[in-house]
């Protein structure tokens, strides 16, 4: 007989208890049959199912698509072409000149993405490190500033793009201010250099809060008395930074570096809203290229898009492996202490 539930908590948990009792016998039976490893499989199964349906299956599908050609969407209507799509992507007469490639847009996008990632990630690390160092000091209103810098992270990328387009467009806020200050307005988003810089600046603005938080956590994990020991020895501030702060922040910096790299390679939404890849192709990055080739252009080519996304995926896999390796090393270092 079940006891009469007396408290609200008991009432709420009662159904769960019943479920637990109901599934207990079959689980016991399964454990007797397969041992502990079998049990692990049972508990992993729901998550694996979701992973399988939404990640693994599309991934396999993508590989299959990358070996087919045509404009049809349904796989049955498509013809198998082997590695032709990859060959098409990777064929160039002169690999230093995107224009000589068969898929010059792919190479343009890849080149843009490369320069974007190098510059954006450097900026990101510099800016978020400096911000974290400042926020780590005992300044007035620290909590407020921490929130301010983190706020953009909470915005959806489309909103970020819209906000900055509203600021930077020809009749935008920035030009309004400049005109009122007696300066000539600029066509920020229609100038190649300005637009490229804007995509870097905006994405740094949008994501730095996240990295700042990681670095701030790292800074706060450095024991205060290390700094006091250094102070007793009269260590100059610069030496404290280079010899104590930076090495001890190293693991966090490595995580930030790899995460920023991965997200930099994937850049799409805010840039697509902000510049649409323009002017011309000056802010066309890989994800947008894939999107346009696969879905948006009149002569869509899903096979080519799939192949391009596999190539980009390979780069991300390498970066992710690096990241996993780093975090494993950190864990080991942590457990040794």
Partner 1 sequence: MGRIALNDIRKSFGKTEVIHGVDLAVEDGELVVFVGPSGCGKSTLLRLIAGLDRPTSGTIEIDGADVTRHSAANRGLAMVFQSYALYPHMTVRQNLSFGLENTKMERAEIRRRIEDSARMLEIEELLDRRPTQLSGGQRQRVAIGRAIVREPSAFLLDEPLSNLDAELRVTMRAELAQLHERLGTTMIYVTHDQIEAMTLADRIVVLRKGRIEQVDTPLNLYNRPANLFVAGFIGAPNMNFFETTASDGRAELPGGLHIDVPQDGKITAGIRPQHLRLANREEEALEGTVTLVEALGAETVVHARALDGTAMVTVLSGQPNLGIGDAIRIALDRGEVHLFDAEGQRIDPS
Chain residues binding partner 1 by CB under 8 A are 223, 225-226, 228-236, 239, 243-244, 247-248, 250, 333, 336-337
Select 134 or 244, whichever has its Cβ closest to partner 1: 244
Nearer to partner 1, 30 or 227 (CB): 227
Q: Cβ of residue 240: shortest distance to partner 1, in angstroms?
A: 10
- Asked if 121 and 319 count as a contact pair (C-beta separation under 8 A), the reply is no
Residue with tokens 């049809």: 72
Q: For tokens 């492996």, name the residue.
A: 321
CB-wise, 123 or 244, nearer to partner 1? 244
Closest contact distance (angstroms) between CB of 226 and partner 1 is 5
32 vs 137, which CB is nearer to partner 1? 137
CB 319 within 8 A of CB 261: yes
The C-alpha atoms of residue 274 and residue 191 are separated, in whole angstroms, by 13
The string of DSSP letters for 249-293 reads: HHHHHHHHHHHHHHHHHT--HHHHHHTTT-STTTT--HHHHHHII
Residue among 61 and 229 whose Cβ is closer to partner 1? 229
Cis preceding linkage at 279, omega within 30: yes
The least CB distance from residue 221 to partner 1, in Å, is: 11
Distance CA 245, CA 226 (A): 10
Element (H, E) at 192: helix 192-220
Instruction: Provide the minimum distance between the beta carbon of 336 and partner 1 in the complex, in angstroms, as a whole number.
Output: 5
**Cβ(273)–Cβ(162) below 8 Å:** yes
| Contacts with 16 (C-beta within 8 Å, 6 or more apart), sequence order | none
Query: Which CB atom, from 238 or from 298, has the smaller least distance to partner 1?
Result: 238
Question: Nearest to residue 257, comparing CAs of 132, 114, 156, 126?
Answer: 126
Shortest approach of partner 1 to residue 236 CB, angstroms? 7
- Work out how close the CB of 234 gets to partner 1 at its nearest, in angstroms, rounded to a whole number: 3
Q: How far apart are CA 113 and CA 309, in angstroms?
A: 13
Question: In this structure, are residues 137 and 147 in contact, taking their beta carbons and an 8 Å threshold?
Answer: no
Closer of 143 and 234 to partner 1 (Cβ): 234
Please identify, using beta-carbon distances, which residue of 26 and 250 lies nearer to partner 1: 250
């Amino acid at each position: 007989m079940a006891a009469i539930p007396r408290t609200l908590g008991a009432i709420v948990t009662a159904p769960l208890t019943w479920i637990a009792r109901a599934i207990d016998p079959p689980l016991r039976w399964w454990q007797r049959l397969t041992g502990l490893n079998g049990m692990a499989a049972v508990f992993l199964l729901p998550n694996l199912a979701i992973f399988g349906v939404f990640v693994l299956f599309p991934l396999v599908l993508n590989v299959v698509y990358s070996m087919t050609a045509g404009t049809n969407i349904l796989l049955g209507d498509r013809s198998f072409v082997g590695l032709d799509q990859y060959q098409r992507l990777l064929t160039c007469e002169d690999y230093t000149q995107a224009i000589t490639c068969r898929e010059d847009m792919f190479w343009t996008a890849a080149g843009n993405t490369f320069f974007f990632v190098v510059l954006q990630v450097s900026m990101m690390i510099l800016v978020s490190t400096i911000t974290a160092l400042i926020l780590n000091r005992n300044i007035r209103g620290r909590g407020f500033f921490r929130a301010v810098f983190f706020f953009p992270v909470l915005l959806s990328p489309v909103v970020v793009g819209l906000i900055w387009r509203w600021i930077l467009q020809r009749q935008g806020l920035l030009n309004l201010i400049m005109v009122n200050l007696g300066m000539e307005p600029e066509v920020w988003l229609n100038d190649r250099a300005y637009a490229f810089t804007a995509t870097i600046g905006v994405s740094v603005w949008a994501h730095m809060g996240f990295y700042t938080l990681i670095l701030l956590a790292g800074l706060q994990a450095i024991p205060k008395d290390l700094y006091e020991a250094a102070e007793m020895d009269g260590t100059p501030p610069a030496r404290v930074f280079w010899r104590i702060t930076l090495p001890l922040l190293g693991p966090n910096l490595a995580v930030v570096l790899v995460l920023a790299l991965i997200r930099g390679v994937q850049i799409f939404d805010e840039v697509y809203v902000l510049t649409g890849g323009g002017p011309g192709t000056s802010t066309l990055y890989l994800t947008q290229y894939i999107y346009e080739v696969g879905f948006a252009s009149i002569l869509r080519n899903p096979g080519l898009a799939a192949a391009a996304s596999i190539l980009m995926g390979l780069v991300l896999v390498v970066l992710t492996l690096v990241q996993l390796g780093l975090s494993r090393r950190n864990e080991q270092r942590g457990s040794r202490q």
